[in-house]
Each structure stands twice: as C-alpha cells, then as structure tokens.
Chain A
Amino acid sequence: MAGGGFALAFGFTGSSGAFAQPSGAIDDTARVFTPNAFIRITPDGKVTLVSKNPEIGQGIKTSLPMIIAEELEVDFDRITVEQADLDETSFGPQFAGGSLSIAQNYDRMRKAGAVARTMLIAAAAADWDVPVDDCYAEHGSVFHRPTGRAQSYGKLASKAALLPVPSDDEVKLKDPTNFKILGQRVGGVDNLAIVTGRSLFGIDQRVPGMSYAVFEKCPVYGGRVVSANLAQIKTLPGVRDAFVIEGGDIPQELVSGVAILGSSTWAALSAQRQLQVTWDEGRYADHSSEKYHATARELGRQTGTVLREDGDVEAAFARAAKVVEADYAYPFLAHATLEPQNCTAAVVGDKVEIWAPTQTPGGGQALVAKTFGLPTENITVHVTRIGGGFGRRLRNDYIVEAVAIARRAGVAVKLTWSREDDMRHDFYRPAGYHFFKAAVDDHGNLTAWKDHFVSFGYRGTTEPASSARMSTLDLPARFIPDFRLEQSLIETNVPTGPLRAPGSNAMAYVLQSFQDEMAHAAGTDSVKFALKLLGEDRELPPAGGRGDAYSVTRMKGVIQRVAANAGWGKSLPRGRGQGFAFYYSHAGYFAEIAEVSVTPSGRLKIHDVWACGDVGPIINRSGAETQVQGGIIDGLSAAWLQEITIERGRTVQGNFDDYPLLRISDTPSVHVEFIESDNPPTGLGEPALPPLAPAVCNGIFAATGLRIRSLPISRHNLAWS
C-alpha cells in the first residue's frame, strides 16, 4: 500500500508535514517522499507511481502515470508503476468503464504530479536558501537557474517529506506546449512482463495451500440445485471436496450451484464434466430466440409506448416524395474475454482477501460485504491485470462465488471458469429489433423518421433490461422536424449488461445503416446526406447520457477528414464498395469508412477501414492508435461472425468453435487519424467501435446492392450477379 504511515490522503489541504522539525535542527533521517497516494520517491532516487484504475488492456496503467510523470518532471522510462489495490479513500473511485479513466482523472493526476514537483522545488530552494522562482525542475532533478546547481529528487526526498502539502489549487500546472511525455508514443509498462510470461493476470494467482475450484450453475439462468451426484464426484482422482452452495436467483449475485474442489485445475475441470445435477430450472425454461423473433414481429406491427414525438410523422409521410420502410435486428452477444472469469479468495475468520480481475473492485467488495454480512474494512481486494474486460468484469459474480466456496472449504480457493461456463453465464449485449419508416424530400433532405424499437425487459416488461435502453437524443432526433420513437418490450430471463460501447454498439448499426438507405432513396451521396442532415456548425445541448454537449462542428470535422483520407467517391468496380458511418458515443466523435469486396459467389473481404476520431488531446499516441484499431476489429468481429442464441431458456453457444472471433487472416488494414484540440480529453476505449458495423454493411450495399438488415453478416448469402 503506497506510503504506509507516511501517506496523506490526496486532496487533504493545508496540513503540515507529519515530521515538522523545530527550526535550526539538522535532520539526516532518510524518509520516503509521498505527498499523495500516487507518488513515492525514496532517497535512492527510485520513483514509484501508482495507477489507480484496473487495467483491462485499455492502457491506463501506462497513461495515468504518464500524466503524473509529465507534471512531476521525471523521465517516464525511469519510473516504476504499481497497480493500486482497492482503497477508494486514498485513490478516489477506482473502476474501468465508460471510457472514463482519462476524462475523470486527467486533472487529478496532473495536480498530483504538480503538488510533488512544487514541494521538491521548495525543498531545494530552502536547502540552497534561494528564491523558489529561481528554481525549476526537469528530468528528475531541481535546478537553480542562476548558478546551475542541481539536486536529484532522490537527494531531495527526505527534505521534501518534511514540508506541508499544498492544496491542488495552490500549484501551477504546465503549459501543454511544454509537454515532453503526453502526446508521445509510449509503450505499455507491463510489456516486458507480458512477452516473457510473468504472472500478471487473475488466473495466474497462487496462494500457498490453495485448492482449485469450479462452480457449476444451472444453464437456465437463476435456476437452483435440487440434487447432484456429489458422492461419486468425491471419489474422482484429485477431488478434495464437492458441495452445494445455496444461492439466490439473481445472476449478478451469488446463485445456487455445485462447487468442486480439486488439487489442480484439471482435477476440478475434469470432475465437472462428470457432474450430474438435477435442476429446478424455474419458469423461463421455454424461452427461445425463435419465440423472441416471433414476438418482436407481432409487437412491431402494433404501436409501442411513445418515447419521443416531434411534429407529426404520419402527416410527413403522407406528403413525402419518397418513403422507405425497413426492419432491422441484431443478436445477443457474449463478451468472450480471452481470460475466462476467475477469482482467488482466502477467508480467515471474518477477514477476506481477494485477488480478482475486476473492473469494479469496490462493487466486488460491497457484494461480498452484503452477501456475508461482513464489514467492508475486513475485505481486501487486490486488482490483478485483466485479460480483457469489455464490460463483463463490471459484474462481480465470480468474486462472490470464490468467497462463498472459500468460506465453506476453509482453505484458500482459486475459482476458474471453463470457456463454456464463461460463454453460458454472461451478461449479454441484448438483442433488439427496429421497425423503421422514414421519408425524404425532392431535395435530398431527410424529413421524417419513425422507429419502433422492440427491446427486452428483464423478468417483466415495465422497463428495459440493463443496456437495453435507447436514447431519445440519438440522431436524427433533434435534427429533423417530424420524428417518433416508440418502444415495446419482450420479457426475457437472459441476463444482460454492458458490452463495449453499450447501447451505441447496436444503435449505430441500425441508425447509420437505415440512414444510408435514406441517402440512397434520396439519390444522394451518403457523406453529403450526413453533412446536410447535421446542418450548421453548432453545439447541441448534452446528449449520450454524459452531460456533454454534442458538437456538430466536431462531428462534421471527423466526417470530412475521413472522407478525404479514404478517397471517398472514388470509382470502384461492381463487387467492391465503400461504406460510411459516424457516431458520437462516450463523448468521442468518430467517422469511419470501410472498403469491402464481395466475390460473385458471396465471399466477403474487408480491405481497409479509415477512422477519424476527435477526443480532444491525445495522451499516449501509441495507446490511442491501438485502442481505435482494436475497437474497429472488435466491431468487425461481432458484426461479421457473432450471435448468441437461446434455446430452452439457455445459451446455445459454448466455445470459439460456435462463437468465433475474427482471426488475423481476415483483419483489414486500419488507418487512424485524430483531430486534436484543447477540448477536455475524453476516452478511446469505446467510441471507435460503433461506426464499424454500419460502415461495413453500407460498403456491402455499395459493392453488391444487398442491404444487411440483421447481424451477423455471416448469416447472409452475399452472392450477387
């Protein structure tokens, strides 16, 4: 834990140093300089920076310390980064999600570094008995400008540790034109450990004496154990114990299941294959994707609950030059993090220690506290490196399971989920259906738009399930005079939750694909149609659930740049085409163009994707580029290949043979450009993903005349002549 007894809570203002000395005393005691929870400098010159948020591959274990290092004036390749354990009192909120890490921590990390820099300069100035203003810091030392004297941070640490910590508002931040680190290409701080196979991830954790556990749950979500062949399982080689865990029927909390403890992961996994459980499957065991499709078609024919209405769409349709109707659908999706869910837990008395790859360690701690009636201060959470999050690890079911098993077992336990467990016990991106009708006039303008959105309600139909909601502010709402959004809900037991770019990952596909249909109906180029629809440069009041204004100016900026980069409008032979889409999500503006080809027999290839994004300034240029490329490849993987289907109330798919991920051989070149500005920086984990699916589908239309109105693309026969 950073600083131990020396640490002062970040933002604690105006306190005097813990070791204030009477004047005149000479004190040679070696001290650690740790003005806040994020920085530790020892007399040997070692600088340790602490990264507060979980690292899921989004790169913030590198970029958050980069921000501190910039203001601290140290060389980034000379520092050591530590991952923070859960301690929100010292660090503030610790989570990875919403593409928020940079947006919420940029200023705080700058101030943390600036506070330390200010104190080090003050310590040097006091030591030299010179004015502070004659001193400056860079490359890990303080310099006295008039004489050229210098003292390293190591030498200054013990003196700086004695000084009062200034408040955030008292310290000066650097002028961004003087940034040495931010905006550069910086490699991930764990790269060497990753490429040499060091222990990093949750699944790598080992505690002496631990048992290895698996946990079998009812395939119909929330079902309960009636009986199981425990006696037989306990005779299997390497099995140490097997027992039923009583739980509820809420998938994000502790549910009923059978735990098997083994002397190795293999002993537990192989015993799991011989497990026979009689389940009370509950009342949703007859649900299926087929039934959902049929219900959606029926509901789509009727009027839904009106969520938003502007003008009069029916009157607009009646007088329109051209009206188009189209039905769209997209499936449930799994997260499929490459590291399956897992957690290691040790329970001693009423104290719990947890090692977990979680995006919300605070939520995990709270869930354990609530489930077992323990005080949160008794629950320690170590946040490991995480082999992919994508929103799956915002839930902490694997944590509460591991603790339940460890409590019952009386030994430390490492719980590992098989790939089948992982794929069948997810919080899926919800499926959805859209019944569209829209109109254009004779001048290439979109004039009216109606969407009947058929979504899902969890175990009811009064409100949308998690991540199954649609915003009433999404374009073209607010951009055309006649607009109506209706909603109907299908009851489901399928647990749903956020998947990278929640909401947006589905809405961009339907909205930007149908908008492309309308551009085509108007006989207008899709980019021109979009720019016309967006209208004058201006800002609209906050949208996207974030309280950030929607800047038409910034949206048009990325659209125009990507069109130029992709050579939009170039003449392409039949069978090859470009498709365009744009979307605002997570406070980021992205426009993308995909160039695809389809052979006459229907074989699809994505050649290139051009992306232009605007998220303000770029923090780590290497990390930023790879997040955009990764988001695009993720979006392509899902749109092209993936669907989760439900039969008899359970997930059908179980592994990568029936839920494929995109492979390197199908990966396009991805060309990324950023429009940078001094707007407040926002995140890149998610906003590049949503435009990809519609860009590719619009490209398929341009190439073949075939409109893709449901995903995944692989379900469609793309043969053309």
Chain B
Amino acid sequence: MPSYQLQINGQSLPVDALADTPLLWILRDQLGLVGTKFGCGIGQCGACTIHVDGTPLRSCQLPVKTAAGLKITTIEGLSSDGSHPLQQAWIEHDVPQCGYCQAGQIMTAAALLQNNPHPSDDEIDSALAGNLCRCGTYLRIRAAVKTAATNGGLA
C-alpha cells in the first residue's frame, strides 16, 4: 500500500492508503478526525467539507494521492478551542439541531468570510447552497454567519 505525507491542521502526518481513498475516510478512520462527516459520498451534501489552501472542498471527492502535500484544514483545525468567530456565533444563535451537518456548514462559511468579510444575504445563500441541513437550521445559519461577519469573521 502506498504512503502519503499529508499536511493536516499544521501537522505533517504520514498515512498508508490506496491511492483512490477519499481524504474523508483517511481523516475519519486513520487519523481519528471524525469532525468531517460522511453524508452522501457524491459531493452533494457538503458534510465532508474541508479547506485546501483555504478553499472549501468536499473531501469525499478528494483522493488521498491528490491531497498529499496540500495544506488541509479540518473543523478540528479551525481553532484549538471553539473560539473562531463562526463557532462562537453558532453557539450564540443555538444553531445545531442534530448537529451532523454543522462542521461542514462552518467550514464553508469560514472560507466565505475569508474571501468576502461582509457578504450579502444572497452571497451567504449562494456560498452555502452546497451544504444540506436535513433538520432545517438554515435560518439560524444565516443569522450566525452575519453575526460572525459583524464580529470580524476571521480567526
């Protein structure tokens, strides 16, 4: 089985995996980083969203051979303690219901605010349209993104 050197949340981590293994499963099964979730496996739900050099990507669609050497950030790397303005806003607005989609939502929102610190309502909806929430917390997601943007938005 081939070996790959992955850059995850500032750490360099070696993994042995088949080349086509989606990064999602490397994170969850091999590295114990279970914050990134499996929802569909076809890039339709956004629960597996991570950052590659700050760009949000669906890790279920990113083979480990492509991920090797890229700067990857997962929800666990967004902050050490939940202090990212989006994490704080999510708590302030009591956003989660079941909670399963929320890490992916936050990762997409974090990339949005990095590029667009004061997004309009339409821009928020557009950026987050790829992240499904089965419980329907969308109204509070909108509110939390706006709050985080007002509070500076960036960690």
Contact = CB atoms under 8 A, between A and B. Distances in A.
B32 A338 contact: no
A622 B78 CA distance: 26
A170 interface: no
Nearest to A669: B139
Nearest to A59: B97
Contact of B74 (A187, A195, A197, A201): A197
Nearest to A342: B38
Interface string B25-63: 100111011111111111011010000000000000000
A663 B132 contact: yes
Given A57-B97, A626-B97, A196 B41 contact: no
Given A265-B25, A664-B138, 13 more contacts: A190-B99, A195-B75, A196-B76, A198-B34, A201-B37, A338-B135, A388-B135, A419-B39, A622-B94, A630-B137, A655-B42, A656-B45, A667-B125
A97 to B, nearest CB: 15
B18 interface: yes
Nearest to A339: B100
Of A198, A204, A389, A626, which is in contact with the most chain B CB atoms at under 10 Å from its CB? A626
B34 A630 contact: no
A526 to B, nearest CB: 26
Contacts of A57: 96-99, 135
Nearest to B30: A264
A200 B136 CA distance: 20
Contacts of A627: 97
A194 B102 contact: yes
A269 B18 CA distance: 13
Given A194-B99, A195-B103, A336 B87 contact: no
A360 interface: no
A387 B99 contact: yes
B136 A192 contact: no
18 contacts: A190-B99, A195-B90, A195-B91, A195-B102, A195-B103, A196-B81, A199-B34, A201-B100, A266-B21, A266-B29, A338-B45, A339-B98, A419-B41, A629-B136, A632-B136, A634-B135, A664-B138, A665-B126
A693 to B, nearest CB: 14
B149 interface: no
Interface in A627-666: 627, 629-634, 637, 655-657, 661-665
B152 interface: no
B128 to A, nearest CB: 5
A411 interface: no
A195 B136 contact: no
Nearest to A204: B34
B46 to A, nearest CB: 10
B101 interface: yes
Contacts of B82: 192, 195-196
B19 to A, nearest CB: 10
Contacts of B131: 664
A190 B96 CA distance: 9
Interface string A554-574: 000000000000000000000
B129 interface: yes
Interface string A40-77: 00000000000000011111000000000000000000
A203 interface: yes
Nearest to B83: A196
A629 B139 contact: yes
B132 A656 contact: yes
Question: How would you classify the secondary structure of chain A's contact residues: helix, strand, loop or mixed?
Answer: loop
Interface in B72-120: 74-76, 78-79, 81-82, 86-87, 90-92, 94-103, 106
A657 B44 contact: yes
B97 A58 contact: yes
A356 to B, nearest CB: 15
A191 B79 contact: no
A478 interface: no
List of 5 A-B pairs having minimum Cβ-Cβ separation, nearest first: A197-B35, A57-B98, A633-B136, A387-B100, A57-B97
B139 A667 contact: yes
> B interface, how many residues as a size bin?
35 or more
A366 to B, nearest CB: 25
Given A195-B87, A336-B134, A656-B42, A665 B129 contact: yes
Contact of A196 (B29, B87, B139): B87
A355 to B, nearest CB: 13
Given A200-B99, A264-B29, A338-B47, A663 B129 contact: yes
A670 B137 CA distance: 11
Interface in B12-30: 17-18, 20-22, 25, 28-30
Contacts of A270: 20
A237 B129 contact: no
Contact of A386 (B25, B79, B98, B137): B98
A387 B98 contact: yes
| Most interface-central of A56, A185, A265, A634 (chain B CB within 10 A) | A265
Contact of B136 (A55, A185, A637): A637
Interface in A326-343: 336-340
B60 to A, nearest CB: 10
Nearest to B18: A237
B142 interface: yes
B140 interface: yes
A667 B74 CA distance: 27
Given A57-B97, A191-B91, A655 B1 contact: no
A712 B16 CA distance: 46
A393 to B, nearest CB: 11
Contact of A266 (B22, B34, B100): B22
Contact of B33 (A197, A416, A669): A197
Contacts of B25: 264-266
A196 B42 contact: no
Interface in A177-195: 185-188, 190-192, 194-195
B38 to A, nearest CB: 7
B141 interface: yes
A626 B29 contact: no
B44 A655 contact: yes
B120 to A, nearest CB: 13
Contacts of A670: 139
A504 to B, nearest CB: 17
A195 B96 contact: yes
Contact of A197 (B20, B21, B76, B133): B76
Contacts of B39: 338-340, 419
Contacts of A188: 94, 96, 99
B100 A338 contact: yes
Nearest to B21: A266
Contacts of B30: 264
Contacts of A623: 94
Interface in A80-132: none
